[in-house]
């Protein structure tokens, strides 16, 4: 099994490297096309092979695009429902344990595991062996939930989120019983490539809902903070509906996406939040 995993991982990285080369070639062709259309001199980096690029450009399909190998792990999404394994860091507090129980109710087909002394590698091995599609690990600092790791199996990606402003279900007034139907999903303001990547990772934690489902999970991006809300709705009149919050509610901030599973210390980082990015107000990452 180990040799098979290594081989599959190597094939995945090879496909990713081919995609990077194709994306770079398309970018050069696009740059050449824009220069020719505006009747400007060719950029210096294109003058050496400009003629070959021009001939290749004439043969290209105008609608050509490169498939995203990075999202190949989600190619079968919707065919089979995802199965999630969720656990905590070592020695969880009572609040983190309660938060874990509530998250298990949010995600359909989610199974809770007591961490104990299980290592990260053992967690990943169990997740793969039992046929789970994703592994979720919740972390805390001094009894306050402040971290969430979402790892897609078997080859990644793994997304790391900071959690803040976490409010549990029993702290929200007027909550109702949790229905077991699959929820509809609302993802708002995820327009950048990184935002679409984060949206792909999060939305495939949920199975496809039925049309008559009354549950709604909302992820709203505002200034790179993702507000997670969970509601149920019912008809208030012929033209209006009433929203009732189910909880929990919290804010997430993505700080790393790794092309691998959590135990792979040398896996390539697809994206990492850097200190200077926190002060770049005009550039939205998600």
pLDDT of 51 strictly over 70: no
Q: What is the average pLDDT across 48-74? A: 59
| pLDDT at position 279 | 60
CB 69 within 8 A of CB 18: yes
Report the candidate in 118, 120, 119, 100 with the shortest Cα–Cα distance to residue 110: 100
From start to end of the chain, where are the E strands?
Answer: 84-88, 110-112, 134-141, 144-152, 158-167, 184-188, 215-222, 225-235, 241-245, 249-259, 268-272
How far is the C-alpha of 282 from the C-alpha of 206, rounded, in Å?
32
> Pick the residue with more confidence: 240 or 89?
89
271 Cβ partners below 8 Å, 6+ apart? 194, 197, 256, 257
Residue 20, pLDDT > 70, answer yes
In angstroms, the CA 144 to CA 163 distance is 9
Task: Say what the pLDDT of residue 138 is.
Answer: 97
**198-222 residues labelled b (16+ CB within 10 A) or e (exposed):** bbbbbebbbbebeeeebbbbbbebe
Radius of gyration of the chain (CA): 22
Helix, strand, or coil (residue 205): coil
Backbone angles phi, psi at 224, to 5 degrees: 70, 10
The angle formed by the CA atoms of residues 195, 200 and 201, to the nearest 5 degrees, is: 100
- Which residue, 135, 96, 103, 85, is CA-closest to 249? 103
Per-residue pLDDT at 2: 66
Question: Cβ contacts of residue 13 below 8 Å, gap of 6+?
Answer: 259, 268
The reported pLDDT for the residue numbered 61 is 52
Give me the mean pLDDT over the 86-101 stretch.
95
Read off the pLDDT of residues 131-152 as tens digits, 9 standing for 90 and up.
Answer: 999 999 999 999 999 999 999 9
Query: Does the pLDDT at position 17 exceed 80?
Result: no
Q: What is the pLDDT of residue 267?
A: 86
The dihedral formed by the CA atoms of 93, 95, 100 and 106, expressed in degrees to the nearest 10: 180
Looking at residue 65, its pLDDT comes to 46
> Is the pLDDT at 49 greater than 90, yes or no?
no
User: Which H or E run contains 121?
Assistant: helix 120-129
Tell me the pLDDT of the chain averaged across its residues.
85
- Residue-wise pLDDT for 180-239, tens only, equals 899 999 999 999 989 999 999 999 999 999 999 999 999 999 989 999 999 999 887 878
What is the pLDDT averaged over residues 238-255?
A: 91
Whether pLDDT at 25 is above 80: no
At a CB cut-off of 8 Å and minimum separation 6, what does 161 contact? Answer: 147, 148, 149, 150, 226, 252, 253, 254, 255
């Amino acid at each position: 099994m180990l040799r098979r995993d290594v081989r599959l991982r190597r094939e995945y990285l090879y496909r990713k490297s081919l995609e990077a080369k194709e994306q770079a070639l398309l970018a050069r062709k696009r740059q050449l096309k824009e220069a020719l259309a505006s009747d400007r001199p060719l950029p210096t980096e294109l003058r050496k092979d400009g003629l070959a690029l021009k001939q290749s450009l004439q043969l290209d399909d105008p609608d050509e695009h490169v498939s995203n190998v990075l999202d190949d792990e989600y190619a079968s999404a919707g065919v089979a429902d995802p199965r999630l394994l969720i656990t905590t860091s070592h020695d969880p507090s009572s609040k983190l344990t309660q938060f874990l129980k509530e998250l298990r109710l949010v995600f359909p087909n989610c199974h809770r595991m007591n961490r104990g002394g299980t290592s990260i590698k053992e967690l990943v091995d169990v997740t793969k062996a039992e046929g789970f599609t994703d592994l979720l690990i919740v972390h805390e600092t001094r009894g306050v939930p402040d971290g969430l790791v979402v790892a897609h199996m078997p080859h990644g990606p793994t997304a790391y989120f900071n959690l803040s402003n976490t409010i549990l279900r029993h702290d929200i007034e007027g909550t109702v019983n949790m229905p077991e139907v699959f929820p509809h999903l609302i993802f708002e303001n995820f327009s950048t490539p990184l935002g679409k990547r984060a949206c792909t990772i999060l939305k495939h934690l949920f199975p496809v809902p039925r049309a008559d489902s009354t549950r709604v999970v909302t992820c709203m991006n505002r200034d790179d903070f993702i507000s997670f809300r969970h509601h149920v709705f019912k008809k208030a009149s012929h033209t209006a509906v009433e929203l009732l919050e189910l909880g929990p509610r919290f804010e997430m901030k993505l700080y790393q996406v790794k092309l691998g599973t959590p135990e792979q210390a040398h896996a390539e980082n697809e994206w990492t939040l850097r200190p200077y990015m926190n002060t770049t107000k005009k550039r939205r990452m998600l």
